[in-house]
Amino acid sequence: MLKHCDTDINRLDELRLQRELKEVILEYVHILYTAKHHSNHGFAILVCRHDFEREQVVSKHSRDKEYLTIRAIVYTEPGRRSFQLLAQSSKGHFGIIPALQEFTKELEREMGDMTATLSLGQKRKTGGESRLEEGGREERRRRLV
């Protein structure tokens, strides 16, 4: 059983929560990226496991040999023959639920940035570069330092 927010969650509940978080992420990805990728053939959310040893990353927790990242992709051709990476989580996590939760927060920040300069009734064209896309996250980090 997973300990989450001081309550025990059985495996079925954990899988339901994962599915719900993925649905929220997919909704956010549609909001953020459909205008730019209007001729897309679908979006997908990937949960990616990475091996510390293979990537030569030193873990603070020697017992943990893997970490997880979340990625959002868009299929660029019919039949899902090719895809493009749209966004990925900025940090690795040791659990799927924390990884999904943090990625939703990153996408929520991106939506906040997208609408920050608007007031009620104003319009804005979508489809500009997202800071979560490749290279954009580094730019954001530089501005924060």
- What is the chain's mean pLDDT, rounded? 79
| 22-61 pLDDT per residue, tens | 999 999 999 999 888 888 899 999 999 988 766 555 445 5
Q: Which letter does DSSP use for residue 60 in this model?
A: S
Q: What is the pLDDT of residue 128?
A: 52
With beta carbons less than 8 A apart as the criterion, state whether 73 and 84 touch.
Answer: yes
| Of residues 111 and 119, more confidently modeled | 111
Q: What is the pLDDT of residue 135?
A: 45
Q: At what angle do helices 11-33 and 96-115 cross, to 10 degrees?
A: 20
Q: Domains in the chain, please, with CATH?
A: 7-113 (3.30.300)
Using CA atoms, how far residue 85 sits from 29, 114, 122, 123, in Å, is: 12, 20, 31, 28
CA distance 129 to 71: 17
**Does the pLDDT of residue 98 top 50, yes or no?**
yes
| 60-78 pLDDT per residue, tens | 554 568 899 999 999 998 8
